Amino acid sequence: MIEILYFDGCPNHEGLDEHLRALLTAAGVNAPITSRRIESELQAEQERFLGSPTIRVNGVDVDPSASGRSAYGLTCRVYATADGLRGTPPDSWILDALRQHA
């Protein structure tokens, strides 16, 4: 299962569901996608929410560096990639996570 966690104060999650569906179709992967809104700082802590958007495959964050981080909260997430900073994770991270955790 692929899960998108987000909060309404950050626009980076908009269109991500459609993008993920197209990515999965192109890769020949059939996996359900769910979206969950994080509504409070307390919920962010409980969900280990590193910012919006967070994408998880079977409960594991697609960001390889996520396991060592604990700055949970209602923030826009920035992904540090080889190509620079981005507001969403690269497709390669998502596909790698699917191969490893699906």
Q: What is the pLDDT of residues 40-58, one digit of tens each?
A: 999 999 999 999 999 999 9
Judged against a pLDDT cut of 80, whether residue 102 lies above it is answered with no
Residue ranges making up the domain that contains 31: 2-101
Number of domains composing the chain: 1
Map residue 18 onto helix, strand or coil.
Answer: helix
pTM for this structure? 0.92
3-class DSSP state of 93? helix
pLDDT score recorded for residue 68? 86
Q: How many CB atoms are located within 10 Å of the residue 85 CB?
A: 8
